[in-house]
Amino acid sequence: MNEKKDLSHLDTHDHAGHGHDHTGDSCCSTTQTSDCGCEHPQGKGKLPTYFWPLVSLILLLMGLGVDFFKWVTVPAWARVLWYGIAYLPVGLPVLKEGWQSIKKGDLFTEFFLMSIATLGAFAIGEYPEGVAVMLFYAVGEMFQHAAVDRAKGNIRALLDVRPKEALTLQNGQYTATNPETVAVGAQVQVRVGEKIPLDGKLLSQKATVNTAAISGESRPQTLKKGDKVYAGSINLDGVIEFTTTRAYRDSSIARILDLVQNATARKSKTELFIRKFARVYTPIVTFMAIGLTLLPYFFVADYVFGEWLYRALIFLVISCPCALVISIPLGYFGGLGAASKNGILFKGASFLDAITQVKHLAMDKTGTVTRGVFKVVDIKGFAFAEAELMQYLIAMEGQSTHPIAKAILEYPTEGKIPRAENVAEIAGKGLEGTVNGKKVLVGNKALMQAHNITTPDEIVSIVESVVGIGIDGQFAGYVIIADELKDDAVQAIARIKSAGINTLTMLSGDKDSITQKTAADLHINAAKGGLLPEDKLHEVEQLKSQGTGKVAFVGDGINDAPVLAASDVGIAMGGLGSDVAIETADVIIQTDQPSKIATAIQIGRSTRHIVWQNIAMAFIVKGIVLTMGAVGIATMWEAVFADVGVALLAILNAIRLQRMQWG
């Protein structure tokens, strides 16, 4: 398997409104980390993120108290030193970021503006203003990171679904070994409930495995000696042994993970509005500030350089996009919080935007709209009443450990269950035995035919699993076992359609007949079954190529991971879904309720509206105060408090998202 990429980069998100991506090798920001690899004062054994801004605030307030109340006489050099110390905790990280950006050739950043404005304030003796501007910016950074950390904090540590070890036969005993080092032809043992670590050929007489994560098939598979076993399948019954036929790098799991990596490489990275805007906006306001300082020399008779420099610094403070840096992530913070309260986790603010543009939704079946477990859904008795028929059936299935038997045994019955005797399993067909002195057969059509029992024609048209019951040579009835729809599945599809989704498609690895029936029950017009992971990927790529809107995919298995990565918005069922699907997805439904998909779309749209309201509000306030500053009416303090006012209004606006009712 190609290891040049690391799946850890699948946990990709943008720092909303910050001005740079939280992806790849780029550093996050100035005051803390979100697992990006940057060194910031956060995490175990480190200071809380608010510590240094709090230190700066205390020093600033003490300095202002001395300035205003004249408690003591302070020499000029001591005043500069005091405010300089107050400035460093919040200013030094920004100065370092600005310098790093300049070294990379990116001069006009918000770090540059903040550095010039605050250092300029110190240069003309406006020390408190310089500290206050940078402190306010640091608080904005804290809000920004809180939005991302809140979302990430609700997502459990991403797990590596690749099997951790393989029990290989060495010197007459089974020893735990790294699957990647196991050679072809090695003998491997797998215990009950463990994942099969490599592809191979079964040595045991039989095995029952769950392949839903690999193929999407909802029904557990019964294998015989010599059958193929696939890495990632789960052993459901008894200790089994097999010989490996492929090295780990060529196994089913490795191929699927490779598809995930390639699909992720095709996923476009969303750039939020503020980053695009700042590339044009920042150079313009920088040169306007220079012009505001120098050009009046040619037009004003009593030109005073210090006065116009102060106005230019006010202009820089007001025009700095730090208010947007705060107001935008605050909007997303509200959206992420509202989603979290509803059991929905967005891995980044950019996906709140992306989900609002989804026009095509493709979804898996097993585990997504169905429970992924068997249940008795129908009983048909011919020679016996249903209650009596189920007593015979449960008596027989009580002697079996097959997953279908477990589903039958969970069916509620009244009265005492009789004892089954002389029960024998007929490989691939079912069970035979004696109940209340009567010969009972339980199994498929082949078992009935082998005992010359005629089955009704209606059984042929049933797409679900059918368990027939024969009693004393007559067909007594049958039971239908099926994967049950989730409680809110029908409601979920109706809500998704009402949300304006143009195309709704079901794509499943389960049998096409079962897939088509499930889609019909949910009123989904388009459905395809029997699909391999690469087939699902192809179908979603086809939808994306239409160019008529973003494509979202909803799934829960390992086999869904490649298409989750390739879709514009990948949505995973996080309660029971596979780890690799959760790791790859952009949005996680923690409650496993498909109706939450429509809720996620609603929250995304409301968040987008509020974010743009905050942007408009910031520009309007800035425009007013910029005009006042240019004509000498506004001071730097007014400029700072104008930004504070915008931020407070943005907070109140964003809080509305937390109080809204969804779905």
According to the model, what pLDDT value does residue 24 have? 33
Backbone angles phi, psi at 361, to 5 degrees: -125, 120
According to the model, what pLDDT value does residue 4 have? 33
25 assigned to active site: no
Instruction: State how far the Cα of 195 lies from the Cα of 340, in Å rounded to an integer.
Output: 31
pTM above 0.85, yes or no: no
Average pLDDT, stretch 617-642?
76
Average pLDDT, stretch 596-602?
93
Cβ count near 197 (within 10 Å): 26
Average pLDDT, stretch 574-595?
74
Whether 475 has a pLDDT exceeding 90, the answer reads: yes
- Which of 11, 149, 353, 364 is flagged as catalytic? 364
Share of the chain above pLDDT 70, in %: 79
Backbone angles phi, psi at 276, to 5 degrees: -65, -40
Instruction: State how far the Cα of 630 lies from the Cα of 84, in Å rounded to an integer.
Output: 28
Backbone angles phi, psi at 523, to 5 degrees: 65, 40
* pLDDT band with cut points at 50, 70 and 90 for residue 322: low
Instruction: State how far the Cα of 354 lies from the Cα of 351, in Å rounded to an integer.
Output: 5
Check residue 246 and report its DSSP letter: S
Burial class (CB in 10 A: 0-12, 13-18, 19+), 193: exposed
Whether 39 has a pLDDT exceeding 90, the answer reads: no
* pLDDT band with cut points at 50, 70 and 90 for residue 383: confident
**CATH 3.60.10.10 holds for 372-484:** no
Whether 43 has a pLDDT exceeding 60, the answer reads: no
Instruction: State how far the Cα of 205 lies from the Cα of 399, in Å rounded to an integer.
Output: 19
The token pair at 18 is 């910050």
Whether 1 has a pLDDT exceeding 70, the answer reads: no
Whether 143 has a pLDDT exceeding 70, the answer reads: no
Instruction: State how far the Cα of 539 lies from the Cα of 526, in Å rounded to an integer.
Output: 12
Pairing, β 206-210 against β 370-381 = unpaired
Q: Tell me which range, 308-322, 335-349, 463-477, 577-591, is most confidently predicted by mean pLDDT.
A: 463-477
The token pair at 98 is 């600005």
Would you kindly state where each structural domain of the chain is located, as residue ranges? Answer: 166-197+199-245, 372-484
Average pLDDT, stretch 166-194?
91
User: 545, 529 in Cβ contact below 8 A?
Assistant: no
Instruction: State how far the Cα of 10 lies from the Cα of 572, in Å rounded to an integer.
Output: 13
DSSP states of 188-237: EEE-TTPBP-S-EEE-SSEEEEE-HHHH---SPEEEETT-EE-TT-EE-S
Residue 441 pairs with which residues in a beta bridge?
A: 432, 470
* pLDDT band with cut points at 50, 70 and 90 for residue 21: very low
**Between residues 656 and 153, which one has the greater pLDDT?**
656
pLDDT, tens only, 192-203: 888 899 999 999
Residue 587 pairs with which residues in a beta bridge?
A: 346, 571
Among 4-18, 129-143, 412-426, 560-574, the range scoring the smallest mean pLDDT is 4-18
Whether 182 has a pLDDT exceeding 80, the answer reads: yes
Instruction: State how far the Cα of 23 lies from the Cα of 269, in Å rounded to an integer.
Output: 9
According to the model, what pLDDT value does residue 118 have? 83
SS3 260: helix
User: 79, 59 in Cβ contact below 8 A?
Assistant: no
Whether 354 has a pLDDT exceeding 60, the answer reads: yes
According to the model, what pLDDT value does residue 33 have? 35
Whether 254 has a pLDDT exceeding 80, the answer reads: no
Q: Tell me which range, 141-150, 215-224, 513-522, is most confidently predicted by mean pLDDT.
A: 513-522
Burial class (CB in 10 A: 0-12, 13-18, 19+), 181: exposed
Whether 435 has a pLDDT exceeding 80, the answer reads: yes
- Could you please state the CATH topology (level 3) that the domain comprising 166-197+199-245 is classified under: 2.70.150
